[in-house]
Chain A
Amino acid sequence: DQQVKQNSPSLSVQEGRISILNCDYTNSMFDYFLWYKKYPAEGPTFLISISSIKDKNEDGRFTVFLNKSAKHLSLHIVPSQPGDSAVYFCAASESGTYKYIFGTGTRLKVLA
């Protein structure tokens, strides 16, 4: 049972445009969500997070939106840069469980 889903395995975007990566979850008890960026043969790098008490969090070019009623979150990257090309994972956690459930990732390719 995949509790965190990233239904788009890949996404291509032109440099300078907006990249939107989506993530859906099924467990309504999740109350903290994170996005990670991963290059091949490296560990994931933390990008941005959001608590369920918020619906938006912004950090530079990265913004995460949370729609609790739809159990959906998205990561917006504006403007996209070639260095953003990587695999992006969303993760969810339920407070008190110490566990993080990751999606299967979306490979973003930013075209110069």
Chain B
Amino acid sequence: SQTIHQWPATLVQPVGSPLSLECTVEGTSNPNLYWYRQAAGRGLQLLFYSVGIGQISSEVPQNLSASRPQDRQFILSSKKLLLSDSGFYLCAWNGTDKYEQYFGPGTRLTVT
């Protein structure tokens, strides 16, 4: 069966520090991968998605970037965090033959 992992679960970082969040999927190959952010009291905002290694589409211009160095690995990064980057970050995947999207457990990021 397929599983999706995200780490760390929680993170507290000062303003101006770098960020790296990692997501990996097991049990499938060539998944579509996604990064979402849920700000406090808000819905899920799509940040990036990838349909293959090295292919990244950005949905919202911002202080973040994403990379997909391997088929089942998706990384969210920032060179310098802003206070507004605080939120709950979720990684998700779906198979190329299915629409159902499955989410990881999320990372709670607090920028202080």
Contacts and interface: CB of A to CB of B under 8 A. Distances in A.
Does chain A bind chain B? yes
Q: Which of B36, B43, B101 has the most CB of A within 10 A?
A: B43
A93 interface: yes
A103 B43 contact: yes
B99 A34 contact: yes
B46 A100 contact: yes
Contacts of B44: 44, 89, 91, 102
A39 B72 CA distance: 26
A5 to B, nearest CB: 10
Q: Which of B42, B59, B99 has the most CB of A within 10 A?
A: B99
Interface residues of A, number: 22
Given A41-B106, A41-B108, A46 B46 contact: no
A108 to B, nearest CB: 15
A103 B45 CA distance: 9
B74 interface: no
A91 B102 CA distance: 12
B42 A104 contact: yes
Given A36-B103, A89-B44, 17 more contacts: A32-B99, A42-B105, A43-B6, A43-B92, A43-B103, A43-B105, A44-B90, A45-B103, A46-B101, A49-B99, A93-B99, A98-B51, A99-B59, A100-B101, A101-B46, A102-B36, A102-B43
30 contacts: A6-B43, A34-B100, A41-B106, A41-B108, A43-B6, A43-B103, A43-B105, A43-B106, A44-B44, A44-B90, A44-B103, A45-B103, A46-B100, A46-B101, A46-B102, A49-B99, A49-B100, A89-B43, A89-B44, A91-B44, A98-B49, A99-B59, A100-B34, A100-B46, A100-B101, A101-B46, A102-B36, A102-B45, A104-B42, A105-B43
